[in-house]
Amino acid sequence: MVTPLSRHTAREQGLPLPQQYSMAWDATHPSIADARHAVRVLLDEAGHQPDQRPSQDAQLVVSELVTNAIRHAPGPGALTLELTPDATLLRITVRDSSSSPPVLPAPDPGRPGGHGLRLVTLLCEGLHHTTLTTGKQVVAHFRLR
């Protein structure tokens, strides 16, 4: 089950806050399509058209990171999308219940899967993880050009 947590716009309270969207899931898995839809809507509201490459690449990154969390970590997880007030940087944070760090496998064009994290590293300015007491958090910084 997906539980929307919060959504804030920069206009709230008259402060230049980032635009933000969060969702969390329990033992049942969220729809990857819902995660892609969330980033598409957030970016569209900030002026990044859904049919343009930055929005499509951001959707791919979100899809890959959430898919990895679901595939490699049982239990609850969360996705937070945070867009800077000038709408030039999207910070994508995925939390899951596994403390194992993400592994970037060696390139193998003959392998049918396992290429998603490589795509994420190619598309993002930065990718790092932090071990938490109940799992890990993976953060990607996606520059919207």
- Asked if the model's pLDDT at residue 10 lies above 70, the reply is no
For 90-122, how does the pLDDT look when each residue is reduced to its tens digit (9 = 90+)? 999 999 999 999 988 888 888 887 889 999 999
Single pTM value for the model: 0.85
Residue 45, classed as helix, strand or coil, is helix
Which amino acid does the sequence have at 142?
Answer: F
For 115-124, how does the pLDDT look when each residue is reduced to its tens digit (9 = 90+)? 899 999 999 9
Torsion angle, CA of 125/105/129/9, rounded to 10 degrees?
50
**Overall number of domains in the chain:** 1
Domain extent, residue 86, equals 2-143
Question: Of the candidates 36, 61, 39, 60, which has an alpha carbon nearest to the alpha carbon of residue 48?
Answer: 39
Which CATH number covers residue 51?
3.30.565.10
